[in-house]
Structure 1
Amino acid sequence: MPLYKTISVNSQTTVKIWKIDESYDALMQPLDLKPESLKRVLGMKSELHQRGFLSVRHLLREFGYTDQDLFYDENGKPHLNDGKHISITHSFTFSGVIVSDKEVGIDIEKRRDKITKIAHKFVDYEFNYLKPTDKDYINRLTIIWGIKESLYKLFATPGMLFNKHFLVIPFMMEDGKTVAWIDYNNKKYRYNTAFFEFDEFMCAYVVP
């Protein structure tokens, strides 16, 4: 069973990461999916996406939940029937779930050089401390994207812009954590964030 990593963030919050190395059939076989989940997974054109979707259901089982315990609101944000907060991510061969008593967000991203081409779309304030000549430029760009994606998942409000409404306070890779802010509709919200690197992937998550 490829549960790759478990992180106890605090007494109310846990992260679990799955390494997706099973076949579609092996992932599907033990699961009991709701009709709408089955329809969704069968409608996916990519087997990689199908395996990502199914691996998340295996992570739910690791937390003691089933597919029946998970539902999505009108903005596509996942929720659990017992009222706990959840966020979900998958990227290529890894998936992750964070569950907490507080609102949370999580994102996994593969480290890829092409992120530099879209940096201007999600970075603004951060260019004050981030330079293309930095040796860890791509890694930190990827973390900034992951933190902002996590914030977006947590807030789940259409119209928010990564480069305008989300700020990530200066950090170095060895810090493993930083603070992020949402500045939206004349209100400011502060979040603790953490991040780590593994197997050419980056994981970031946020907790209020």
Structure 2
Amino acid sequence: MPLYKSISHNSQTTVKIWQITESFKDLMVPLDLKPESLSRVESMKSTLHQRGFLSVRHLLREFGYTDQDLFYDDHGKPHLKDGKHISITHSFEFSGVIISHSEVGIDIEKQREKIAIIAKKFVDYEFQYLSLKASDYVRKLTVIWGIKESLYKLFATPGMLFREHFLVIPFTLEDSETVCWIDYNNQKHRYNANYLEFEGFTCAYVVE
């Protein structure tokens, strides 16, 4: 079973990343899915999405949980029955789960040139320190998107916009961490953000 990477952010927060190499059938074999989970995965039209869904359940097993321990609220945010905080992501052949005693969010994105085309939809303040001609422009945009997606998952509040309500402080790819903010309804919230690159992908996660 290809657990690709495990990161101990601190004593209360762990990230685990799975590289999805197995078939749908092989991923299904050891799992005990709730009826609603089974119905959900069987209704997915994409095998890629099915395998991503199942790989997340394998990551839960790596943490000592099962599908029975996971539930979602009305906003689609995942929760664990024991009260710990969880966030989930999957992109192409990778999936990730972060579990913590604090509020968290995680995102994995494939590094693709087309992110530059939509940059104005999710970047505002960050253009002040980004260089359009820099060789790492796409990689930095992917970090910014991943951090903002992680913030969105953490806060789980309808109406929030990446460009208007989320802000990522200047960073370098070598640092692997920065600070980010949510500015929403006249309230500001500060979070620590971490990021890493592997196999042409970027993983970002934020911790309260």
Give the TM interval when normalised to the shorter protein: over 0.9
Quote how far apart the aligned CAs of 1:134 are. 1.3
Rounded Cα–Cα distance in structure 2 between residues aligned with 1:182 and 1:134 = 27
Q: Which residue of 2 aligns with 1:182?
A: 182
Rounded Cα–Cα distance in structure 1 between residues aligned with 2:169 and 2:134 = 17
Rounded Cα–Cα distance in structure 1 between residues aligned with 2:123 and 2:73 = 28
Q: Which residue of 2 aligns with 1:3?
A: 3
After superposition, give the CA deviation of every residue in 1:128-149 in whole Å (9 maximum; x if it has no partner). 0012111100000000000000
Q: TM-score, normalised by structure 2?
A: 1.00
AA matched with 2:113:
D
Rounded Cα–Cα distance in structure 2 between residues aligned with 1:138 and 1:82 = 39
RMSD over aligned Cα atoms: 0.4
Q: Which residue of 1 aligns with 2:198?
A: 198
Matches within 5 A, 1:102-141: 102-141=102-141
After superposition, give the CA deviation of every residue in 1:43-79 in whole Å (9 maximum; x if it has no partner). 0000000000000000000000000000000000000
AA matched with 1:177:
E
AA matched with 1:4:
Y
Q: Secondary structure at the residue paired with 1:51? A: helix
For structure 1, the residue ranges without an aligned partner over 5 or more in a row are none
Quote how far apart the aligned CAs of 1:17 are. 0.2
Rounded Cα–Cα distance in structure 2 between residues aligned with 1:109 and 1:150 = 11
Rounded Cα–Cα distance in structure 2 between residues aligned with 1:73 and 1:104 = 15
Rounded Cα–Cα distance in structure 1 between residues aligned with 2:74 and 2:132 = 39
Q: Which residue of 1 aligns with 2:148?
A: 148
**How many residues of Structure 1 are paired with residues of Structure 2 in the alignment?**
208
Runs of 4+ aligned residues of structure 1 deviating over 2 Å after TM superposition are none
AA matched with 1:206:
V
Rounded Cα–Cα distance in structure 1 between residues aligned with 2:131 and 2:167 = 16
Q: Which residue of 2 aligns with 1:65?
A: 65
Q: Which residue of 2 aligns with 1:34?
A: 34
Matches within 5 A, 1:76-95: 76-95=76-95
Rounded Cα–Cα distance in structure 2 between residues aligned with 1:41 and 1:135 = 39
For structure 2, the residue ranges without an aligned partner over 5 or more in a row are none
Q: Which residue of 1 aligns with 2:169?
A: 169
Q: Which residue of 2 aligns with 1:55?
A: 55
AA matched with 1:187:
Q
